[in-house]
Amino acid sequence: MMYLNKICSSPTNNTSEKVSSTNTFDIELQHLQPRRRQTINYYHDNDDNNKDQYYASTRHSIPAKQQEFYSSKSDQLSSIHNTAELPRDTSAISSTDPILISPLPLVVEEKNLSLMIRSILSGLILILLPVALLSGTIFRFSFISFIYGVLLLIIPWLGTINRENIRTRYRLLTLAAGLISLLAIIAQIIFQSILLANKPYGHTLNNCTITTEILQYFGLERLDNSNVIRIVRLIVPDVVIFVLSTICFFVIRRTLILLRRRQRSELQTSIASDVINSSPSMDSSTSTTTKRSSWPRLLSIVRRIRLFIQFIIVGFAAFVYPSIINSIYFIFFLIIAFVWSLSVKFGKKYELVRALLVIYTGMHLLILYLYQFTFFQEALPPLSLWSNITGLTAIVIINNCTENEPYVATNLTWNDYINPCAILLLYFYFAFETNRALFQRKIQSNTTTVQSLEQQSLVATIDRPDTLEQSSRSLQPRWSLDQSSDQTWQGRIIFVILSLLRVLERQSYLLSLIAMLAWSITFHSLLTLIFLIWACLLWVLPNSRKWCLRMSPFFTLYGGILLILQYISGFRISYDQFKFSYDRRTMEQIGIRTNDYYPAFIPLLIKSLYMMIFWLTLRQYINERRSLNAPSTEGHRLSISADLYGGRLGQWFINFLTKYWIFVSCGMILIVSIRGTVVIYRIIYMVFYLFFILSFQISFGFWRRTASTFHLTIIIYSMIILIGLYIYQFEVVNVFLSARLSEELLTSIGLEVVRSDVLAVRLLTPSAFLIINIMQLYYFHSGWMDLITMPSDKNIQGTANGTLQDIHAYAKENTKNLNSPHSQQILKSEPKTWQESLYKFYFRANRLYKKIVYYSWRFAELHSYKLVLFIMVLVAVLNVCAYNISLIILTIIGLILLRLRLLISLLTLIITGLYILASMCYQLEIVKQLIAEKDIFVKNCSQIPSNETLDSNSNIIPNDTAKWFGLELTTNIDRFVGMYILLTIVLTFDAIVRYRQRHRRLTLSVHFNVHIIENRFPILFEPFALKNLHDDTYQYDISSYQQADRGVINFLKYLINFLFYRFGLEICYVTTVIVIGVRLDIIAVLYAIWLGLFLISSRRFIKRIWPIYIFFQIILYSVQYLSVVGAPPILCF
């Protein structure tokens, strides 16, 4: 409806107004948010010198065609709540006099439905009425209920709640539902009245007759001998639907009357209110835009995942019940996936196919509903071959025509009940999307027509070319996810998420390789063996990413074929009905598994998840090929956004993984080697681990040069083991090897036949180890090598860049600006916002963390070797055997000669590694057969008379020499050699500490251009010293005895640095007393004698006899351990 505003002009006012057109119409969001009023705003300006003046020098009128258009299209414009303006009729204005154009010359306005009315209508029409129709459909199976179901399926096509739709579509729906329910009620009343009139009740209508069945199909049944539930099920749905339809109809009618009345009342005051409130309307629009600025962002994200939601829903409907009818959904699922992976835009053709699928889904629902009728089930019996493969399930069955009471079948699987729900969900969501697309296209068409007429009128009124440009620009979406200028926290979060998704998409090739490996392990067969070999070959290639992307079309197509085979084999058909030429075992090894009436949803879901990664990789490959021909700035823009919002966090995470992923790799080698039963291939993994840490101990340079070769070798070895274990599960390979090798040898190698589920668990650990090592080699190795490269101080010349105090301050916090004004200002200033408080807390926590790390490494440098010696003694004591005598000897040498620290660590690692390998080899089946079972190390040293037997208290039990040496059969090898593995870890940690501290000193030397060495005193604080190469002098910065009195901090530093230097002898006295109190034997008496001698002697004398005391402890310690170990049992001492 159009209303012409009167022209307000003033003959004495020579000012004019600028004309600007602002169209805030958002094409993509128009159906989800209220429309803002579209007006042509005219701003007053009294400054003639600085502003343009526009004079109406001609007479303007509305063309007849335009008037006809606006008259005929007013109702359509009302549905989008839009406002269009046309030029005023200026016939009364003189062409020579300047005029002041009114702010609202022409308004075509449609009043919005109020929030309360919209909520009431939505609750009634979109919630209560559909629920009533659904209840009337599923609780009673008749043709009336079938019509209710059709009305229910029509609801998603009726559009949104607006004036036009409630005046036409929804009113017709409520009218149809009300009339049908009223006819059903009337028919029920007449039918029951006839039965009551012909007494006794129902004698004229016998059970199990054709007439009775026909009446039942229309919902007319006898109610004698019926309980309350049956009466409610047959009669109440019609009454409820009629009441709700009537209420909805009268609410719609009352709403339309109120809208007309309000429109007439507001027409009388529209001119004055528009003139007065022209400027405030601008402010209101601005504020409304600000308030609603968060909605476009959220809805933009929803638009991006809308296709993914459709993909999930149609896939769920296809997988929940594999059948011929549901196969259409499966085909649509594959079409969506492959079209998306080929980076083809979804346009009108997709919308057309989706609309056809909605129609098909509606027909499918109706067919499923009709199949619940008795006549349909008699034509196609339930649970028959054709009903199973077509997907028709009889959920409601009537077996007794006398009782005529349907019941729900309980002998069905879960997917039989979920299938109708999934199809109904698919129908409603796809109908909503299709209706939304049609409605949006209609809105765009109307908007384009109205805009063109407005532009023609504006051109006829004033010649303002920038107005059209502004209007056309306003039609674009106001916010985009690719926009990088949003500085709000919501925008930053969105950009970080998008950046992560882009990174994930770029690294999708790695996910595809992992998916191929997981697919082959999860579903063991000959067909999936191709995926395993494919993934291994792509992994070992130099440029695996390029080759993986190039091969993505092929393995994606192959995966699609396997998914189709799984869908076909998932039909509810037994194995015998497939008529295969081979037995079930052979077909399962080939890769075709029938489910025998069990749901195939889980296998289809898992394989579709793998296929999603393949489709993502294929899409990345297509996009990269297109970018080579048509370069774009999108990647650069995303990198900038990622750098702004997520760059620091992402870089920190990458640096963290680069620094510590090598430890994860070594840890996985240990887990693979000692987890489970000891076999030969696990022993070889242990050899790899020992070689890796031993080469690190022997030569750091050799270890660096061979690190990449080591990882590549272990990757290839893991692939061979994985493929070997995988292939051995096939019956042909198993029979071939079993005929040529003994069972003990095959078991010792690690080859045994297990079930598919057990095989997947067993292959999971080596597969994870393979992936971790591949990531270390291809992602983190180069960064790790750069990180551990030792700097050189040979070319240091000239003056130093700082003093020794500066070096210590820089080493503690890794910054030169510790005492800078900026740092002090951050610490002393009072935070005004929570961001400043958080930053100040982070600044302090970061300083504290760096200090803790610095002193922790220095503490480890001072005491890690002592920890090594302690663990050596602990291992020897916990496992007393002849082999551990070597550890005792090395411990004694290490305590006496500290200069042999490197040699002691190396020999200890070699001895420990040999013991671990010997213990693991002793557990092999072939070793048990050759050594343990033949009692090679067991000898009976006593002669047993023939008439006597051994008892539990006899001393002539045979002794095991292997156990005396340290070898023992066990089922938990990880516990048996756990302490020795801990010793290797501690030895490696000691070497890491030494290399790390050396690397740190060299880095500081290069940074400050000085030669920094370790302090000659083993102190915790101020450990560095400067060396002058000219005169070989040293400079120290140590808290002296005199400085200890200057404060508590200096005192504590001095005490910690020189605690044992000042009070070491007293500490030794205390430990000697503890030993005496604990032992209380002859050895304790010897220690007491030594303690008394020390207490009565001077320090000079104690210094002379101290080496004798150390020698006494060495002899005593060695003799005690040898006495516990004893002689070899085989000597029969």
Q: pLDDT digit string (tens) for 642-699?
A: 444 456 777 788 888 998 999 999 999 999 998 888 899 999 999 999 999 999 999 8
**Cβ contacts of residue 328 below 8 Å, gap of 6+?**
357, 360
What is the pLDDT of the chain when averaged over all its residues? 76
The pLDDT value given to residue 328: 95
Number of other CB atoms surrounding residue 541 within 10 Å: 11
**Cβ contacts of residue 934 below 8 Å, gap of 6+?**
none
Over residues 297-324, the mean pLDDT reads 82
Number of other CB atoms surrounding residue 817 within 10 Å: 11
The pLDDT value given to residue 615: 94
The pLDDT value given to residue 803: 73
pLDDT digits (tens, 9 = 90+) for 760-807: 888 888 888 899 999 898 888 888 888 888 887 776 766 777 777 777
Task: Tell me the DSSP string of 1069-1119.
Answer: HHHHHHHHHHH-SHHHHHHHHHHHHHHTS-HHHHHHHHHHHHHHHHHHHHH
304-318, 951-965, 1024-1038: lowest mean pLDDT where?
Answer: 951-965
pLDDT digits (tens, 9 = 90+) for 566-578: 999 888 887 677 7
pLDDT digits (tens, 9 = 90+) for 1095-1125: 888 888 888 888 898 898 899 888 898 988 8
The pLDDT value given to residue 292: 46
Residue corresponding to tokens 């990269």? 624
Which has the closest alpha carbon to 56: 422, 536, 461?
A: 461
Instruction: Report whether pLDDT(629) > 70.
Output: no
State whether residue 381 is helix, strand or coil. coil
- Alpha carbon separation from 429 to 177, 210, 364, 609 (Å, rounded): 23, 40, 15, 22
Instruction: Report whether pLDDT(953) > 60.
Output: no
Query: 1034 - beta bridge partners?
Result: 1027
Helices (H), 643-755: 647-674, 680-698, 700-728, 731-738, 743-749
**Largest CA-CA distance found in the chain, in angstroms, rounded:** 146
**Structure tokens given for 326:** 């549901």
CA distance 1030 to 1047: 37
The pLDDT value given to residue 16: 39
The pLDDT value given to residue 1026: 72
Name the DSSP class of 1028.
Answer: E
The pLDDT value given to residue 823: 62
β-strand 106-108 against 938-939: which pairing, if any?
unpaired
- What b/e string do you get for 369-393 counting C-beta neighbours within 10 Å, with b at 16 or more? bbbbbbeebeeeebeeeebbbbbbb
CA distance 160 to 163: 9
CA-atom Rg of the chain in angstroms: 44
165 contacts 159 by C-beta, under 8 angstroms? yes
Name the DSSP class of 437.
Answer: H
Cα angle 1034, 1039, 1045 (rounded to 5 degrees) comes to 150
**Cβ contacts of residue 131 below 8 Å, gap of 6+?**
none
Q: How confident is the model at residue 914 (pLDDT cuts 50, 70, 90)?
A: very high
Instruction: Report whether pLDDT(117) > 80.
Output: no
Residue corresponding to tokens 């808290």? 1039
Dihedral sign from CA coordinates of 282, 288, 293, 295: negative
pLDDT digits (tens, 9 = 90+) for 143-199: 899 999 999 999 988 877 777 878 888 889 899 999 999 999 998 888 888 888 877
Dihedral sign from CA coordinates of 423, 427, 433, 437: positive
Amino acid in position 941: C
Q: What is the pTM of this model?
A: 0.75
The pLDDT value given to residue 427: 94
Number of other CB atoms surrounding residue 1106 within 10 Å: 13
**Cβ contacts of residue 162 below 8 Å, gap of 6+?**
78, 79, 80, 81, 113
Residue corresponding to tokens 């009315």? 117
Residue corresponding to tokens 């007006």? 39
Amino acid in position 260: R
The pLDDT value given to residue 94: 38
The pLDDT > 90 percentage for the chain reads 24
Which has the closest alpha carbon to 239: 263, 219, 253?
A: 219
Q: SS3 for 780-849, per residue? A: HHHHHHHHHCCCCCCCCCCCCCCCHHHHHHHHHHCCCCCCCHHHHHHHHCCCCCHHHHHHHHHHHHHHHH
945 contacts 924 by C-beta, under 8 angstroms? no
Residue corresponding to tokens 């909520």? 119
Amino acid in position 36: R
pLDDT digits (tens, 9 = 90+) for 385-427: 888 888 888 888 876 666 667 778 888 888 889 999 999 999 9
Number of other CB atoms surrounding residue 930 within 10 Å: 12
CA distance 897 to 333: 74
Task: Tell me the DSSP string of 263-292.
Answer: HHHHHHTHHHHHHHTHHHHHHHHHHHHHHT
pLDDT digits (tens, 9 = 90+) for 856-899: 888 888 889 999 999 999 999 998 889 999 999 999 998 888 88
State whether residue 624 is helix, strand or coil. helix
Instruction: Report whether pLDDT(105) > 70.
Output: no
Check whether the bond before 200 is cis (ω within 30° of 0): yes
